[in-house]
Structure 1
């Protein structure tokens, strides 16, 4: 899986769904969500209730939607992988399945004696006003710093690492038509670093779970109506001399008959339910537009 924009470009999937239909004819049907905007808003309020009880500080809630399709999904998946701002853009495919990612977020990278994670939290439209609003938002900054602290703690528990430090805090990066806040957390490798220990420490990513992580996962299990599938996991490269894993946000999966997509956001005490529903829709919109392409479909049901 290509990662960090430094490896080979994504290739059209071979042997994936509808691989025999090379004549095109791609058409995307109407999207059907696993929960309505009202149900999503109710989940936001349920998280705020849990925060009020002292059970959690932040929970990332994620919704799922799927749409039927006909024809060859390969070109549509390549459009997703090619979205601007994707640090991990690519396509994977097998017998009867395929997925595409346009993830901007580094879950963990190990290279040149250094471990790095780049959590992303905080979203606004990619306008100058949106950039100023994101930088000035106390709510977004508090949500972001909470996850940075969680990631620092995850790395600090690993043997074989030196002091963990925040190299960059709340830097604004662009993904398609959205500004997002990103930090860089790193530690030097000072001893033996076991891959299994590393993955146990960082998975699942703090930015797609919440804090405390185990309590947040418990809330997620109760609130989300369907599983997260390939989303919110890890995708990238593991080699003898480096590791580069992206968090599989902005990721879609295709089976023999449907396209699946996920989007969500972090909920804190200061969250507004309607704003959180709108933010999830804004994150999903570029993915849906890329998938629709020339299909003429993609309406929401």
Structure 2
């Protein structure tokens, strides 16, 4: 309790009270430094002092990726809402409703299409804020639909992964998305179209065991945790201490599981260059944004 709440009359208290947004300052999980949220947003959700890559909303990621921040939202197919009538402390349908209200998205995967440095691409972004980015029927349908659109429009397909794995509330229906997405990847490759995977923090479980590790090129953001089982589970199974940095992007790059580690600020340029290279698009036809031209 403080003197304002104890002594000052309610009417005067309401004048003195100032509403402060809860997210005005953001604490870096790595260094503990406080960052003004506007500065964090302007830096693509990368902490300036430590370089720690925080989770970035799909909309902000897509705007930073496409030319002039312009893109087309691709409709995500609907899927059965609750095939197992699952319930723990809450009904699964209630959890879906809450997450859809909080994120504004139908499910964990958002699809978009547009120009990336002059090359038309189809992009999928997995949102960890939606039930941990878990792979369920709706997410699987979205990824398959995105790949099929890429085949129809003859564009490269880029996916940004972020997930804790399969969605337990959907049981075997969730697990079936692993082979379904794998088949879609094979069709994409049969069409000779580039498939680029950007692994963000974290990418684990059934996602890593399927489409996340089937790309033509695997890019990872700095410090991203990438793996199938958790490090603690592995240690308990093999009864040995794991190496320092195990399952981190830099460790996996050094051991051949990831092709390249790219900071978020350089991601657009790197992806644009790779898409031009893999589609054999002449550099002259690629466009630059005003910022890049400057």
Report the TM-score range of the alignment, normalised by the length of the smaller protein. Answer: under 0.3
Q: Which has the higher helix share?
A: 2
| Higher RCO (CA-CA < 8 Å; seq separation 6+) | 1
TM-score (norm 1): 0.24
Rg (Cα) greater in structure: 2
Q: Which has the higher strand share?
A: 1
